[in-house]
Amino acid sequence: MVQVLIADDDYNMRVFLKYLLKPEKDFKVIGETQSGIETIEFCRKNSPDLVLIDINMDYQMDGLEAIQTIRLFNSDIKFVVLTVFDDERVIVDAFKTGADSYLLKSASVIEIISTIQDTVNNSAVITSEVGNRLKKYLQKPEIENSSHYIDVIRLIMSLTATEIEIIRLKKNGLSSEMICQKKHIEMGTVRTHINNILKKFQMEKMQDVVFYLNSISFFGFIDQALSTDDTGVHPC
Residue 40: what pLDDT?
A: 94
Q: In the chain, what percentage of residues exceed pLDDT 70?
A: 75
Choice between 151 and 74, residue whose per-residue pLDDT is larger: 74
Show the domains of the chain with their CATH numbers: 2-125 (3.40.50.2300)
pTM: 0.59
Question: What end-to-end distance do the CA atoms of the chain give, in Å?
Answer: 33
pLDDT of 36 > 80? The answer is yes
pLDDT of 34 > 70? The answer is yes
Within 10 A of 88 (CB to CB), how many other CB atoms are there? 18
pLDDT of 11 > 70? The answer is yes
| DSSP-derived secondary structure letter, 229 | S
- Specify the 3-state DSSP secondary structure of 3: strand
| Rg of the chain on CA atoms, in Å | 17
pLDDT of 173 > 90? The answer is no
Residue 88 contacts residue 102 (beta carbons within 8 Å): no
Read off the pLDDT of residues 178-226 as tens digits, 9 standing for 90 and up: 988 888 888 988 999 999 889 888 888 898 888 887 776 666 655 554 4
pLDDT of 108 > 90? The answer is no
pLDDT of 78 > 80? The answer is yes
Residue 49 contacts residue 28 (beta carbons within 8 Å): no
- Average pLDDT score over residue span 12-26: 92
Name which of 123-127, 135-139, 218-222 the model is least confident about.
Answer: 135-139
CA–CA gap between residue 216 and residue 209 (Å, rounded): 11
pLDDT of 233 > 50? The answer is no
CA distances to 44, 75, 126, 196, 202 from 199, rounded to whole Å, are 31, 20, 20, 5, 5
74: left (phi over 0), alpha (psi -120 to 50) or beta: beta
Residue 130: what pLDDT?
A: 65
* One-letter amino acid of 78: K
pLDDT of 236 > 50? The answer is no
Residue 172: what pLDDT?
A: 84
- Specify the 3-state DSSP secondary structure of 80: strand
